[in-house]
Structure 1
Amino acid sequence: MRVRITRGRQLLSIAGMWYNDRIGEEFDVIDDPIHEDMLVTKQEYKGEMIDHNIFKDDCEIVINTD
């Protein structure tokens, strides 16, 4: 599935989600097997591909019209 980030999110009082400055960008995702309100995407971090979570409320599904 592919999603587009529609908004960011603040966690606690200081930290924000990794995608806060990536509104409008699209990512390939799968359902998070542990947290039902989240999706998971692989993103590079310090040279390695690691799992990053996206809250379902912070994105929309991209419909492929091809």
Structure 2
Amino acid sequence: MSKRLLSRLLGMFQSRTQVGVDKVGNRYFTRVEEVDGTMKERRWVEFKGADQDSTTVPVEWICWLNGCGM
């Protein structure tokens, strides 16, 4: 495994910030990372349990994930 890939994988868990949790227990995170020399915010959801059903994401969180704000 390359050092860059390993560093990126480790950074994914170390520098993330939990933003919130919805009513079904899905957790929402953000992280700022460098992409092509520019700092960008990355937003994602970690689903509760093994079932990764995107229909459980409430509309307001879908908007947040897409950068609309909240």
TM-score of Structure 1 vs Structure 2, range by shorter chain: 0.3 to 0.5
Instruction: Give the structure with the larger strand fraction.
Output: 1
Q: TM-score, normalization: structure 1?
A: 0.35
The structure whose residues are more often helix, as a share, is 2
Which structure is larger by alpha-carbon Rg, 1 or 2?
A: 2
Could you tell me the TM-score, scaled by structure 2's length?
Answer: 0.34
With a CA cutoff of 8 Å and minimum separation of 6, indicate the structure with the bigger relative contact order: 1
